[in-house]
Chain A
Amino acid sequence: MSLQRIWAAVPIALAALAEPAHAQGQGDDELSRIPSEAPPAPPAARSGRSRLGKTVYVESATEAELLRSSFDVPPPSPTPTTIEQRLFVDAVLHWIPIRDLTFHLSARAGLRAGEDIAFPTHENIRVDLRELYASWKVFEGAYLDAGRINLKSGVAIGFNPTDFFKTRAVVEPLSVDPSVLREDRLGTLMLRGQFVWKHGSVSAAFAPRVASPPPLYTSTALPALDPMFGRTNAHHRFLLKANVDLIEDFSPEALFYQEDGAVRLGFNVAQSLGKKVVAYAEWAGGSQSGLSQEALAFGTLTKSFSTAVADNLATSSATHFQQDASVGLSYANESKMTFWLEYHLHQAGFSRGDWRFWFDQGTGPSGELLSPLLWFERGYAQEQQAPMSKHSLFLRADWADAFIFNLELTAFANVDLYDGSTLAQVTASYAVTNLWTVALLSAANVGSRRSEFGSLPGAFSALFTIRYYF
């Protein structure tokens, strides 16, 4: 027996001295917690050549909104309804009829009623065909997709500059939470090819123009049974994007996007910093005019108002290189909480001077004439899914299993860095069973009358939803 072996045995002897009854006494409480019954066996994997996967649920959504009674710049009618009830069926289906070919369908159909929605009219019915496309695996890693596809890009949470197909795609969202906005959006009619290999991926998508752009939608001017291709396919669009593992665990994505000849370039990257932090950045840039001029040009193009009226607000229509960026950090702790802090730059958005001009025009002698145009600019920015101001801050917190099992609390705030006004929202979502989920959401626009969020017609809103999965 070597001296080394004897020396190695010493810790065992010392351990026995320190805890002589460890093996017998330990674990009694632990063992009593172990469930005796075996869990039910899982269902057998689906076999056969034809397969159907589905996620279908029905949801009831009741919303109440408290509107402001006075404004510096009065919003045009119709103002949002104060009480609205929606009932809808949401379905996502995947059908694989033969090997390597998949059909995808994502749609939502429902009924709605509200104070300002006439009954019974087509306004009470809403059907949104979000996706319908075929996907063919040409060979391992190579895919061709054709149809209406929701193509999403970007790594940020609150604002995605490289998500080029987001514009005008969101339809009547239940929440202004960016994560929910992404769920309630229409896909774009396109042909997409993708190749994924060991060290990266490359995708190319072409979306043709198939319809003219319609005017801005309002909550009481939504078509009942219309695919609304004018929202998603009003321009010829092309996207090429690729990500490559440059070094281990570092795989940035570069994007080239062209819309009716205008080019935008994009870049995004996300990286872990230690065990608890993820840092991410997303950037896009290209030639475009300012938000106000873009909105007014769109308004005259869609005959929402005349050029003569738009000229009252027109400044420079010149385009120049404009940048969008989203830079953030997420932090997760051991208590199942995750926090995000994100800075947003939207160079085409409103500066402090633009905001002053907006309020001055709305409260000036021509305010009554100009206020519809001014609010048109706000509505346009909302449909573009871009921040209204050049500089804003986004904060978010998620807490899984908060206080009790299966209760998730989410809160976020969108802060205008010029005036400090804030859109804040808190959501409590509870999975009662595997099939039932209830959620309560409340949101508030906080700020002075001459601020971005303080000037909005809605002051406070609450939403209660019940969802059942089939």
Chain B
Amino acid sequence: MSRTNAFRALTLLVVAALSPRAWGQTAAEIVARADEVRNPNASFRFLSTLTEYVSGKPQAQNILAIFSKKDPRTGQFRNLVGYVEPPRDAGKAVLLDGRAFWFYDPASKASVRISPQQRLIGQAAVGDILTVTMSIDYTATLLSTESVQDANKKPRTSWHLDLKAANELSSYARIEYWVEQGSFQPVKAKFYSDSGRLLKILFYRSFETWLSGLRPTETVILDAVDSSRVTTVKASEHRLQEIPEAWFQREYLPRLEAQ
């Protein structure tokens, strides 16, 4: 260990331990506050525009209508995702409710049960990524405080957290998460599979006020497996909406009006 590194470690040890900003909150509290920034504590509906880039060029665009409601038992959001565009997918719907995942295709009039792994294949996985309450599904550990660049290459002093799946409902085995100090705005996240493979890198950007809070309206998802692929997810038209419990039954899927 070099003398410089030893000095840096000692300084960080003292500063970090003394700093009320770093240690005013536990890792779990930081993640919970970031959850509150990402989504309101109410039932709501929004449109999500996914643009898929391959080698930097836009290749496809999907528009999804996402209906989110908190499950009072788990505190986790349940999602109903209706495909609006492109035309070949219009009318398809996905129910993401705890461990129950169903996919409905209007062409075949069939609802098929899908596994947690299968739900990650389609665009509807975005619903989960955007609304997952990380403080419930993951156990957080604070790794460090560091300056990390956000999607606009602006440095943000952030907590670097390590999140481990807390239950079998967690979509990913592990998440590395950067949350800006002070604002509790999520900056970046890395999602890992059960096998430890890095799957996705997320950047949160375009913070705007919607549903009574300054929240991200755009998420950039870098595919870590295929480095040529990037997806941007632009959320819009947020509105509070009461969502009846019956909507989270698979038999309701054919009746979901995405528009």
Contacts and interface: CB of A to CB of B under 8 A. Distances in A.
B90 interface: yes
Interface in B20-55: 23, 47, 49, 51-54
Given A34-B220, A35-B56, A152-B110, A23 B147 contact: yes
Contact of A10 (B6, B13, B237): B13
A118 to B, nearest CB: 31
Interface stretch (A37-45, A258-266, A348-356): A37-45
B98 A248 contact: yes
B220 A35 contact: yes
Per DSSP, chain B at the interface is mixed
Contacts, number: 244
A431 B88 contact: yes
Interface string B134-157: 000000011111111101010000
A22 B146 contact: yes
A76 interface: no
Interface residues on B, range: 35 or more
B183 interface: no
Contacts of B5: 16-17, 20
A220 interface: no
Contacts of A154: 110
A217 interface: no
B249 to A, nearest CB: 5
Contact of A469 (B54, B87, B255): B87
B117 A6 contact: no
A292 interface: no
A318 interface: no
A126 B238 CA distance: 45
A334 B197 contact: yes
Contacts of A27: 148-149, 188
Interface string A311-353: 0000000000000000000111110101000000000000000
Contacts of A248: 98-99
Interface stretch (A226-234, A269-277, A414-422, A454-462): A269-277
A197 interface: yes
A131 to B, nearest CB: 9
A435 interface: yes
B12 A249 contact: no
A97 interface: no
Contacts of B209: none
Nearest to A201: B251
Contacts of A469: 86-88
A45 B259 contact: yes
A45 B241 CA distance: 15
Contacts of B114: 278, 330, 332
A372 B73 CA distance: 63
Interface in A24-75: 24, 26-27, 30-31, 33-35, 38-46, 51, 53, 55-57
A364 interface: no
A276 B99 CA distance: 12
A437 interface: yes
Given A46-B259, A332-B118, A243 B251 contact: yes
A11 B12 contact: no
A468 B201 CA distance: 34
Contacts of A56: 87
17 contacts: A9-B12, A22-B144, A30-B201, A31-B149, A41-B236, A44-B237, A45-B237, A51-B259, A57-B88, A141-B246, A196-B246, A248-B99, A272-B115, A275-B117, A330-B114, A332-B118, A434-B87
Query: Which 3 pairs from chain A and chain B are nearest by CB?
Result: A23-B146, A270-B113, A434-B86
Given A23-B148, A332-B115, 15 more contacts: A9-B17, A17-B6, A22-B144, A33-B222, A35-B53, A38-B218, A42-B47, A42-B49, A55-B106, A155-B112, A200-B249, A203-B251, A243-B250, A330-B114, A330-B118
